[in-house]
Amino acid sequence: MDTKDLVAEQIRKAVPDLEAAAVTDLLEIPKNSDMGDWAFPAFSLAKTWRKAPQLIAEEIIQKIDSSQFEKVQAVGPYVNFFLDKSQISAALIGQVLAEGADYGQEKIGAGRNVTIDMSSPNIAKPFSIGHLRSTVIGDSLAQIFQKLGYKTVKINHLGDWGKQFGLLILAYKKWGQEEAVKEHPIEELLQLYVRINEEVQKNPELDEEAREWFRKLEEGDEEAQNLWQWFRKESLLEFSQLYDELGVTFDSYNGEAFYNDKMAEIVDLLSAKGLLKESQGAQVVDLEKYGFEHPALIKKSDGATLYITRDLATALYRKRQYDFAKSIYVVGSEQAGHFKQLKAILKEMGYDWTDDIHYVPFGLVTKGGKKLSTRKGNIILLEPTLAEAVNRAAQQINAKNPDLADKEAVAHAVGVGAIKFYDLKTDRMNGYDFDLEAMVSFEGETGPYVQYAHARIQSILRKAAFSPDTGASYSLNDKESWEIVKLIQNFPDTVKRAADRFEPALIAKHAIHLAQSFNKYYAHTRIIAADPERDSRLALCYATATVLKEDLRLLGLEAPNEM
C-alpha cells in the first residue's frame, strides 16, 4: 500500500489537466509532520490557472474526497494531507505480523543470478582492512539481493598467482620451517617474502632463481606445485578463522590461479576481433576512444599475462557459468582505473552484458585520522581487534545485565556486529576513522544501539506475555507511533534503493531511525499500561522488532533477544 498513490489519486481527480507523473513529482513530505504526511504545492499551478496559490489550494480541497484521510487542509499555498493513522497502522501492523521475516521479500530477482566478487585477499599476505570492507559490504549486498529474490554467488577471488610465488618458494627453500608456517602461516610467509626481497637487492642472481621457480610452477613441476598448494592451503586456513569470526561464507574460492588455463582463449578472442596490437614485443589493446592515455597491456613480451587478462577471463567465465543478471565487484576505489579498463575492453569485444558489470568501490579507512601504513606502524591487526571488540561488548553487558545467560555468544554478536555496522552505516564511498570505542558504544548511531533497542522490545513483549493474534485489528493514531509506522512502511522501498545503489548504508540508516523512533516512543508512552490500546501498542512493538531484526540481518548482524 503506497500512501503517495493514495494522495496522488485525489489530486488527479481535482486537477485532471496534470499528468500522473507530474503529480507524483510534485508531491512532497512536509518537513514538519504537524503539516501532514503529504503536501501538494498549489503554486505549481498558479501560472496556468492564473490564480493566487491560496485560492487554488482552496479550490482543490472542494473537489477531492477527503473521507479516506484523517483530514485535508489548505494551508497557504499548500494542500496538506493527513493520512488516516488508524486505518494505515492497522493494515501495516497486520501485514507485518502475518508476514514476519518475509515482510519486504520481493520476487523481482526470481530466477536471476548475481555474482559478487568480494573479500579476495592475497595468499601469503596480510588480510587488510580494505579486504574487511569488501567482505562486509559484499556479504550485506548478498543478503539485500536475496531479499529481492535473486540468487547470489559469493566469490572469493583469491590473489593466489603471480611471480611473487617464485620468490616465496625460493625463500622457503632457503630458510623456511614447516612448523613455523603451520603455526602462523601469514606472518611467517610474509617474513620470508620480505627477507628474500631484501636479499635480492643485494644479490640480483637470486632474482633469476626465483624466476626459474615461477617458471617451474607454471609448468606444473611437482615440488613447486606442492609448495604453492601448501602456502595457499595454510593461508586459507588462517583467513577462514577470520571468516568464521565474521560469520561470512563463500560459494566459490576460484581465484586468479583458476584462470591460468583460461587466458589463452582471451588472447585468441582479442586477436580474432582485431583488437590486439603489437607494441615493443608486447600485446596491447588501444583504448584511446575511452579516454585512456595508455593502451591496456594484455601480454608482455616474455609471454606473461597480467591482472587485467585474468579479469577478462574471469568475467567471461562468470557469464558462461552463472549467466549473471548482475556481476558485482566490491573492490577498493584505488582500483577504479582497472575496472574502467576491464569494462572498456569487454565493450570493445562486443559483449552486450558489459553494462551488467558493476564495480562497487569503497573509500579508505584511517586510524587516528592518519592513513594506515605498515611502514609507519599505523596498522589495524584484525584478529586482536575483533577480540578487543568482543571484550568491550562483554564489559558493557556485564555492567547492564550481569545475570544474562549465554553472555559469551551475545558479547560476540555485539562486538563483531559493532565493527560491521560502523563500516556499513558509512556511505561506502566515504572512508571512516577506525575508532573501536565509538563502534562498540551503546549510544550513538551504532550496531549495539540498534541491537539494544531490539532486545528491549523483546523484554517488553516477554514481560507483557504478548503474542500476536492474526485475527485482531491493531490500530494506533498517536504521533509517536505514527513515526514508527511510517518507517516500517518504508522498509521494502529502502531495500530496493539499497540494491539499486549497492549501498547497505541505506539499510543501516533505516535501522538507526527505527531504533531512535522506538526509543522516543518508549520514553513517551506507557506501553504495557492496562487500557484498550495496550494490545495495539504491543503489536506495534512486535512489528518494530521484526523489522529491526530484518534490518540487522541484511547487514550481517545478529539480533539477540536479550542483552
Per CB under 6 A, which region of 92-100, 114-122, 273-281, 406-414 contacts ligand ARG?
Answer: 114-122
Nearer Cβ to ligand ARG, position 122 or 152? 122
**CB nearer to ligand ARG: pick between 268 and 334:** 334
**Cβ contacts of residue 278 below 8 Å, gap of 6+?**
284
Nearest approach in angstroms of CB 77 to ligand ARG is 53
- Comparing CB distances to ligand ARG, the nearer of 159 and 468 is 159
What contacts 290, CB < 8 A, 6 or more positions away? 340, 344, 347
CB of 386 to ligand ARG, least distance (A): 20
Tallying the residues shown for the chain, one arrives at 563
Q: How far is the CB of 506 from ligand ARG (least distance, A)?
A: 24
Q: Which one of 207, 311, 445, 551 is in contact with ligand ARG (CB under 6 A)?
A: 311
Question: At closest approach, how far in Å is the CB of 116 from ligand ARG?
Answer: 11
- What is the number of the residue whose Cβ is closest to ligand ARG? 159
Residues 258-297 that bind ligand ARG (CB under 6 A): none
Which residue, 331, 543, 554, 519, is CA-closest to 425?
Answer: 554
Residue 121 Cβ vs ligand ARG, minimum distance, rounded to whole Å: 6
Residue 120 vs 451, nearer CB to ligand ARG: 120
Report the residue from 263, 297, 331, 419 that binds ligand ARG according to the rule CB under 6 A. Answer: 331
**Which one, of 548, 523, 543, lies nearest residue 476 by Cα?**
543
Least distance from ligand ARG to the Cβ atom of residue 363, Å: 15
Smallest distance, Å, CB 394 to ligand ARG? 32
327 contacts ligand ARG (rule: CB under 6 A): no
Instruction: Please answer whether residues 241 and 383 qualify as being in contact, where contact means their C-beta atoms are separated by less than 8 angstroms.
Output: yes
Residue 176 Cβ vs ligand ARG, minimum distance, rounded to whole Å: 23
* Angle value at C-alpha 223, between 220 and 224, nearest 5 degrees: 60
Contact 362/428 with Cβ under 8 angstroms?
Answer: yes
**Range 352-355 contact pairs with CB under 8 angstroms and sequence separation of 24 or more:** 353/319, 353/324, 353/327
Alpha helices in 203-221 (DSSP H): 205-219
Q: Measure the CA–CA gap between 17 and 2, rounded to whole angstroms.
A: 23
Q: Name the residue with cell 582471451.
A: 266
Q: In what order do the strands lie in the sheet with 432-433?
A: 370-371, 365-367, 432-433
Q: Does 550 bind ligand ARG (CB under 6 A)?
A: no
CA distance 124 to 159: 9
314 binds ligand ARG (CB under 6 A): yes
Comparing CB distances to ligand ARG, the nearer of 314 and 458 is 314
Residue whose C-alpha is closest to residue 128's, from 368, 332, 432 = 332
Q: Which is nearer to ligand ARG, 117 or 209 (CB)?
A: 117
Closer to ligand ARG at the Cβ: 69 or 161? 161
Residues 116-145 interacting with ligand ARG (rule: CB under 6 A): 117, 120-122
| Closer of 77 and 361 to ligand ARG (Cβ) | 361
The CA distance from 335 to 349, in Å, is 21
Rounded CA-CA distance 531/334 in Å is 59
Distances 429 to 202, 365, 447 between C-alpha atoms, Å: 42, 11, 20
Q: For residues 72 and 186, which CB has a smaller minimum distance to ligand ARG in the complex?
A: 186
Query: What is the nearest approach in angstroms of ligand ARG to the Cβ of residue 157?
Result: 4
Number of chain positions touching ligand ARG (CB under 6 A): 10
Exposed, middle or buried, 499 (CB in 10 Å: 0-12/13-18/19+)? buried
Between 256 and 483, name the residue whose CB sits nearer to ligand ARG. Answer: 256
Among 85, 133, 151, 157, the residue binding ligand ARG under the rule CB under 6 A is 157
Residues 6+ apart with CB under 8 A from 291: none
Which of residues 159, 361, 448, 560 is near ligand ARG by CB under 6 A? 159
- What's the closest the beta carbon of residue 79 comes to ligand ARG, in angstroms? 52
For the bound state, the minimum distance from the C-beta of residue 159 to ligand ARG, rounded and expressed in Å, comes to: 3
Sites of contact with ligand ARG (CB under 6 A): 117, 120-122, 157, 159, 311, 314, 329, 331
